[in-house]
Chains A and B, each alone.
Chain A
Amino acid sequence: EDKVVQSPLSLVVHEGDTVTLNCSYEVTNFRSLLWYKQEKKAPTFLFMLTSSGIEKKSGRLSSILDKKELFSILNITATQTGDSAIYLCAVILFGNEKLTFGTGTRLTIIP
């Protein structure tokens, strides 16, 4: 059975801290891994990672994939209260377009 596991489940840090969120996967026919941010309602797309070792970056957020060790990390530097959200990781498999999601990491930034 395909499995996506995120850790930690919940994280509380102070504004300005740097955080690292983890996503590991055990799936057949891995194609790509996606990160989403969910604040209140609709998840919004952050990154898609397909190749190992190539960092994707957007402002204070960055992410990288390790296809040998089957995991990805999402880094957020100089955190702000607006970064408080649930961060979801999902994988796409070859052969179909459906996403398999992890349970998410709930990140809370304290001012």
Chain B
Amino acid sequence: DGGITQSPKYLFRKEGQNVTLSCEQNLNHDAMYWYRQDPGQGLRLIYYSQIVNDFQKGDIAEGYSVSREKKESFPLTVTSAQKNPTAFYLCASSEGLAGPYEQYFGPGTRLTVT
């Protein structure tokens, strides 16, 4: 049963703490992406990776970090430097590289920081 999983579904943290959101895919996709969704602003790209051990900043990378040590996994860390971390975070993957390919999305993680 192929797909993208994100965990946890809901996450609550205190201000000043780093938090890591998980994203795993078993679609054998090369490319993976992280988006942030706020009400009325659509999806904004945080980071993306087109190959293992390589990733690029998206439009709003400040205060976030990622790693891509395995093809299947692309975790996102929301650091204490991110000024407004409360949001809905979506991970996606696509076949990548030679595209264009549609992106498939995970179910998302809703992060609340107080």
Contacts and interface: CB of A to CB of B under 8 A. Distances in A.
Interface of A: 6, 9, 31-32, 34, 36, 41-45, 48, 50, 88, 90, 92, 96-104
A41 B37 CA distance: 11
Given A42-B4, A45-B103, A102-B42, 9 more contacts: A32-B100, A36-B105, A88-B42, A88-B43, A98-B33, A98-B45, A101-B42, A101-B44, A103-B40
Chain B interface size range: 20 to 34
A36 B35 CA distance: 14
A6 B40 CA distance: 11
Interface of B: 4, 31, 33, 35, 40-45, 48, 50, 56, 58, 90, 94, 96-97, 99-108
Contacts of A90: 43
A43 B48 CA distance: 17
A108 to B, nearest CB: 15
A1 B3 CA distance: 33
**Which 7 pairs across A and B sit closest by C-beta, in order of nearness?**
A42-B105, A103-B42, A101-B43, A32-B100, A101-B42, A45-B102, A92-B100
